[in-house]
Amino acid sequence: MNSATREQGGETVAAEVFDERICSLGEGPLWHPMRKTLYWVDLLNNKVLAKGPDGTQAWDMGEMPSAIGWVDRDRALVACESGLHLMDLNSGEKSLLCELEPDMPGNRSNDGRADPWGGFWIGTMGVNGEPDQGNLYRWYKGELRRLDSGMTVPNGICFDRERCYGYYADSAKNTVYRVLLNTADGWPMGEPEAFLDLSTQELIPDGAVMDGQGNMWSSLWDSARTQCFDPSGREIAALEAPVIRTTCPAFGGEDFTDMYVTTAAVGLEDRPGAEVANGVTLVYRNAVQGQPEPAVIV
């Protein structure tokens, strides 16, 4: 276990191993509120993983999956390198909803998340992290529209509880951006602005999620923690991890007070005798009040 602070000067919260399966690049955790199950991906090994009341499951997607949104009890949207797919959560079968950049075979999907209007935001990037080759899109009511371009590693997509702002990061630029949203339909209005510039601290923002109080929790790549920032961008808390490559957080559990964090083993040496292996999926029980993820409308 590993202790972590719930807030500055607050109580400690223990990080537990939720799932021992090693992910080369664990990403995209999603708590399905109807199935009481956590879904996530092992991106580099083409797998969607799950753990819940029915035990553990794994599906080979035949290509790199990167993000998940729930549609209803039995279906999920899974972003893969070729496009957005509708996946049957019972059989594992998938069908294509929308292609992603068919004219850019050197790109793949990366971070994604459902928005409060039932849309789905998804970033793309070069397979080898080529500079400025990535884009940010929103899929909504059957339409895929590009929102931003010239990105390297789009990440950290999340939305404030007032439905006023969308947030996203470019990990390679150590920056989190925010953009004003139309409260009626969720489309961005105006240009994005820098919300967090973490370059001076040399911090790399990866996946992120908003809690029930409107604070952002961002997993920091190669920093062994998930950091909490209040709406003004001030650091107010951190959940420390027993492994270095934390990748993405998600809230779940019966009352959404558990935080699940995926991690990565890629590029790291094995740690014989280590209490916790790189690439496992972690959980912090009763860590902070979160909120459920909205469903994707298909």
Structure tokens at 144: 């895929």
pLDDT surpassing 60 at residue 133: yes
Mean pLDDT of 6-10: 50
Residues 6+ apart with CB under 8 A from 9: none
Q: What is the pLDDT of residue 1?
A: 38
pLDDT, one tens digit per residue, over 20-64 is 999 999 999 999 999 999 999 999 999 999 999 999 999 999 999
* 103 labelled binding-site residue: no
pLDDT at 274: 81
Sequence-distant (6+) residues with CB within 8 A of 87 are 48, 59, 75, 76, 77, 78, 93, 94
Stated as kind and residue range, the H or E segment containing 159 is: strand 154-159
What DSSP designation does 132 have?
T
CA dist., res. 298 & res. 142, Å (int): 7
pLDDT at 294 over 50: yes
Asked if pLDDT for residue 6 goes beyond 70, the answer is no
Give the model confidence (pLDDT) of 173-227 as tens digits: 999 999 999 999 999 999 999 999 999 999 999 999 999 999 999 999 999 999 9
206 is in an annotated binding site: yes
> Annotated catalytic sites, by residue?
206
**108 annotated ligand-binding residue:** yes
Confidence tier at 8 by pLDDT (50, 70, 90): very low
Residue 225 annotated as part of some ligand binding site: no
d(CA 194, CA 182): 19
* CA triple 147-175-13, angle to 5 deg: 115
Domain boundaries, the chain: 2-284
Q: Give the phi and the psi of residue 44 in degrees, each rounded to 5.
A: -75, -15
- CB-based contacts of 135-142 (< 8 A; 24+ apart in sequence): 135/101, 136/168, 137/100, 138/186, 138/187, 138/188, 139/84, 139/97, 139/98, 140/115, 140/185, 140/186, 140/187, 140/297, 141/297, 142/98
**For residue 5, how far is the Cα from the chain centroid?**
22
Is 70 exceeded by the pLDDT of residue 5?
no
Q: Is 155 annotated as a binding residue?
A: yes
Q: Find the mean pLDDT for residues 240-244.
A: 97
pTM of the model: 0.96
Q: What pLDDT is stored for residue 270 in this prediction? A: 76
* CATH superfamily label, 2-284: TolB, C-terminal domain (2.120.10.30)
